[in-house]
């Protein structure tokens, strides 16, 4: 019996690549529990039991989420986090940090390690999954298009941004911004909590100029902060992500 070839079905969508997560934890039962539940969420999960192994994996492939324990053998979680932020493939990956105590949580955030969110142990698995889902919903910075597309006004604290008029105000008073300053502010503020590397900002904002360097980004952010932050030594709107770039406060 000869079977005819199946007719092509235009309505079958191309299956999306399963989202890939990395769970870095040296305690096997916690690692396995987290990995199991992320797999039940439909994620493809890799595991690492030490910091150096995690860095080898993140150098080799792109992940959609990293769950990272703070206390790890050989290379600790904060160092792993900072190194991931310098990598080509995963500089902007959402990182959920697991910490043992409240004080460590403060330390992790105070050090500006580059983690996107944290959970204090012991944590409930439902809480972990809720945080993981929220991080997975965020668009990655390298999939965000050029600025200027959205014309929706943005409000953050005393700051108002009006993209249609390309104008920003602080406490109702208009502030004087260069076109590049406005574009950087608008891009960051349109995607609160999302990490933009200096390279990504250069590629999106300085499209016509190939002579600018990553230092130009820092200089521009410094000027922007003087115009929009109440205290430039303690910025609350444009936050530095250590070793990586910048993100707008997720308020």
Tell me how far, at minimum, the Cβ of 83 lies from Ca ion, in Å.
17
With contacts defined by CB under 5 A, name the span among 3-11, 66-74, 120-128, 194-202 that binds Ca ion.
Answer: 66-74
Smaller CB separation from Ca ion, 78 or 91: 78
What are the backbone angles phi and psi of residue 178, rounded to the nearest 5°? -75, 165
Burial 167-198 (b: 16+ CB within 10 A, else e): ebebeeeebebeebbbbbbbbbbbbbbbbbbb
Cβ 92 vs Cβ 141: under 8 Å: yes
With contacts defined by CB under 5 A, name the span among 44-52, 67-75, 112-120, 208-216 that binds Ca ion.
Answer: 67-75
Rule CB under 5 A: is residue 76 a binding residue for Ca ion? no
With contacts defined by CB under 5 A, name the span among 18-26, 173-181, 191-199, 238-246 that binds Ca ion.
Answer: 18-26
The binder of Ca ion chosen from 26, 52, 142, 162 (CB under 5 A): 26
The binder of Ca ion chosen from 71, 109, 156, 249 (CB under 5 A): 71
Smaller CB separation from Ca ion, 30 or 249: 30
Tell me how far, at minimum, the Cβ of 52 lies from Ca ion, in Å.
14
**Rounded CA separation 28/34 (Å):** 10
Smaller CB separation from Ca ion, 69 or 92: 69
DSSP string, 85-132: HHSTTTTT--EEEEESSHHHHHHHHHTT-S-SEEEESS--HHHHHHHH
Question: Strand ranges (DSSP E) for the chain?
Answer: 20-24, 44-48, 65-69, 95-99, 117-120, 154-156, 159-162, 167-170, 173-175, 196-197, 238-241, 245-248
Tell me how far, at minimum, the Cβ of 178 lies from Ca ion, in Å.
47
The binder of Ca ion chosen from 69, 116, 183, 229 (CB under 5 A): 69
**Rounded CA separation 66/29 (Å):** 18
Pairing of the two strands 159-162 and 173-175 = unpaired
Tell me how far, at minimum, the Cβ of 248 lies from Ca ion, in Å.
31
DSSP reduced 3-state for 12: coil
Residue, CB closest to Ca ion? 71
Tell me how far, at minimum, the Cβ of 70 lies from Ca ion, in Å.
7
Tell me how far, at minimum, the Cβ of 106 lies from Ca ion, in Å.
18
Tell me how far, at minimum, the Cβ of 98 lies from Ca ion, in Å.
8
Tokens of 219: 């200089």
Number of residues forming the site for Ca ion (CB under 5 A): 3
**Rounded CA separation 224/177 (Å):** 8
Smaller CB separation from Ca ion, 69 or 183: 69
Binding site for Ca ion (CB under 5 A): 26, 69, 71
């Amino acid at each position: 019996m000869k079977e005819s070839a199946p007719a092509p079905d235009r309505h079958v969508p191309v299956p999306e690549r399963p989202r890939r997560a990395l769970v870095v934890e040296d305690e096997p039962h916690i690692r396995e529990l987290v990995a199991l539940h992320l797999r039940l969420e439909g994620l493809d999960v890799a595991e690492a039991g030490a910091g150096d192994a995690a860095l080898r994996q993140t150098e080799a492939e792109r992940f959609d989420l990293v769950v990272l324990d703070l206390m790890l053998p050989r290379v600790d979680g904060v160092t792993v986090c900072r190194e991931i932020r310098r990598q080509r493939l995963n500089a902007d990956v959402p990182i959920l940090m697991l910490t043992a105590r409240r004080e460590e949580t403060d330390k992790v955030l105070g050090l500006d390690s580059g983690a996107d969110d944290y959970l204090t142990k012991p944590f409930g698995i439902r809480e972990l999954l809720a945080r993981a889902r929220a991080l997975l919903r965020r668009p990655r910075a390298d999939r965000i298009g050029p600025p200027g597309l959205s014309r929706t006004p943005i409000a953050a604290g005393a700051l108002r941004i009006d993209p249609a008029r390309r104008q920003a105000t602080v406490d109702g008073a208009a502030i004087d911004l260069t076109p590049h300053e406005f574009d950087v502010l608008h891009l960051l503020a349109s995607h609160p909590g999302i990490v933009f590397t200096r390279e990504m900002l250069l590629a999106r904002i300085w499209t016509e100029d190939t002579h600018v360097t990553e230092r130009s980004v820092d200089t521009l952010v410094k000027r922007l902060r003087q115009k929009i932050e109440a205290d430039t030594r303690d910025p609350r709107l444009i936050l530095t992500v250590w070793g990586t770039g910048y993100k707008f406060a997720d308020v």
